[in-house]
Amino acid sequence: MKKTIQKLTVYATLVFGIYHVEAQQTTVIEDFKPSSKNQPQQDYPMVNSQGYARFKIVSPAADSVRVSLGLGGKGGTKLAKAEDGTWMGTTEGPMDEGFHYYNVKIDGGKFSDPGAMNYYGSTRWESGIEIPAHDQDFYALKNVPHGHVQQVLFPSPSTGTSRRAFVYTPPGYTKNTDKKYSVLYLQHGWGEDETAWMNQGHANLIMDNLIAEGKIEPFIIVNTYGMTNEIKWGGMKDFRIEPFQTVLVDELIPYVDANFRTLATKDKRAMAGLSMGGMETKTITLNKPNVFSYYGLLSGGIYLPEEIKDKSQVKMIFLSSGSKEKPERILDAASKLKEAGFKVTTYVSDNTGHEFQTWRRSLKELAPLLFK
């Protein structure tokens, strides 16, 4: 197992390094296996040890089948009709490690791959595929004590309904009934929803593993839907933070504090978010300096020192990004914040972009820094 992982790293480095120069000469190794995100009993899509993905779609009478995944700017991977009447194709190059959303175009219409599980992204349930990462062990399902992920429906007078949140309670929560826990409010990105961090992010498994290794003190994580006023692609200018801020601060936090054994003080409360969830985190932590002490922006922007009115309110700022997302921006912001006297930690995820592998790793780095 260790050997396979080492091999994978070597190939990935090689292949990523040379791709643009000699893509045509790369030999595709025929060790394809079903993606770990497949539906039960489904062989396709498959992935190989180099990070190539291979797709197979049954649609015998179709004229054209195309998968949205593949190399940037080339419109994805065009499948070809195989001898058995199915449509098959392999990405032209290896993909980044980790999780990717995708869809399949059949004769011009956009569908999910019937072989893959579905994950909510881009305001729709998309197909998901997993390119095994060299560091996938930290979010693997292991034989360790597991926390619970609770779906709660909390009353939201401001939106006139009961809203859904997921609450991760760490292992031991059900038995140590005197213990109280700190809470991280953790937001998804644009077009995703409150299922993202547990489903594609494996936040619960990341926490279970960190706790089992004694690397963090157990805490609670809460995810809820942040696009409280629905916005479509391109409609970001219409987004207003107030509806979500009200739901989060005036409705969800009091519900969590009343129904879970939380340490219900500012010092024991953090907020973080990925991408658009980072933008929300920034806005809400600045608007409500008395609610959270730890701030995390995961591929989700920066704070400028002058934006934070009272330095003493902030215990720690975490800024992260994939190495393919211009990380200079967060590194530069961190310098300025440090100069101004803030405690800042940055993290840059190697060889990943604006995708969940960056955010899984970011959570793993962020968790040990919280609630100190």
Q: Which is nearer to a copy of itself, 193 or 325 (CB)?
A: 193
The least CB distance from residue 194 to a copy of itself, in Å, is 12
**Minimum distance of a copy of itself from residue 37's CB (angstroms):** 12
Report the amino acid identity of residue 62. Answer: A
- When asked if residue 331 is in the footprint of a copy of itself (CB under 8 A), the reply is no
Closer residue to a copy of itself (CB): 58 or 304: 58
Per-residue 3-state assignment (H helix, E strand, C coil) for the chain: CHHHHHHHHHHHHHHHHHHHHHHHHCCCCCCCEECCCECCCCCCCEECCCCCEEEEECCCCCCCEEECCCCCCCCCEECEECCCCCEEEECCCCCCCEEEEECEEECCEEECCCCECEEEECCEEEEEEEECCCCHHHHCCCCCCCCEEEEEEEEECCCCEEEEEEEEECCCCCCCCCCCECEEEEECCCCCCCCHHHHCCCHHHHHHHHHHCCCCCCCEEEEECCCCCCCCCCCHHHCCCHHHHHHHHHHHHHHHHHHCCECCCHHHEEEEEECHHHHHHHHHHHHCCCCCCEEEEECCCCCCHHHCCCHHHCCEEEEEEECCCCCHHHHHHHHHHHHCCCCEEEEEECCCCCCHHHHHHHHHHHHHHCCC
Cβ-based nearer residue to a copy of itself, 43 or 107 = 107
- Binding range to a copy of itself, per CB under 8 A, among 17-25, 112-120, 267-275, 328-336: 112-120
Burial (CB count within 10 angstroms: exposed 0-12, middle 13-18, buried 19+), residue 226: buried
Considering the complex, state which of residue 25 and residue 41 has its C-beta at the smaller distance from a copy of itself: 41
Shortest distance, position 74 Cβ to a copy of itself, whole Å: 20
Closer CB to a copy of itself, 139 or 294, in the complex: 139
Instruction: Rule CB under 8 A: choose which of 9, 36, 68, 112 binds a copy of itself.
Output: 112
Please report how close the Cβ of residue 257 comes to a copy of itself at its closest, in angstroms: 11
6 binds a copy of itself (CB under 8 A): no
List binders of a copy of itself among 21-80 (CB under 8 A): 39-41, 57-64
Residue 85 or 341 with smaller CB distance to a copy of itself: 85
CA 279 to chain centre: 15
Span from 25-33, 102-110, 130-138, 308-316 in contact with a copy of itself (CB under 8 A):
102-110
Decide whether 190 or 303 has the Cβ nearer to a copy of itself: 190
Chain positions 243 to 262 lying near a copy of itself, rule: CB under 8 A, are 258-260
Residue written as token pair 């079903």: 34
Kindly state the smallest distance separating residue 46's Cβ from a copy of itself, in Å.
18
Using rule CB under 8 A, residue 4 touches a copy of itself: no
Stretch that binds a copy of itself, among 28-36, 123-131, 310-318, 358-366 (CB under 8 A): 123-131
How do 124-131 and 161-169 pair as beta strands?
unpaired
Number of residues binding to a copy of itself, judged by CB under 8 A: 48
Q: Return the residues of window 179-198 that contact a copy of itself according to CB under 8 A.
A: 198
Contacting residues toward a copy of itself, per CB under 8 A: 39-41, 57-64, 106-112, 114, 117-118, 123-125, 141-143, 146, 148-155, 161-162, 167, 174-175, 177, 198, 230, 232, 258-260
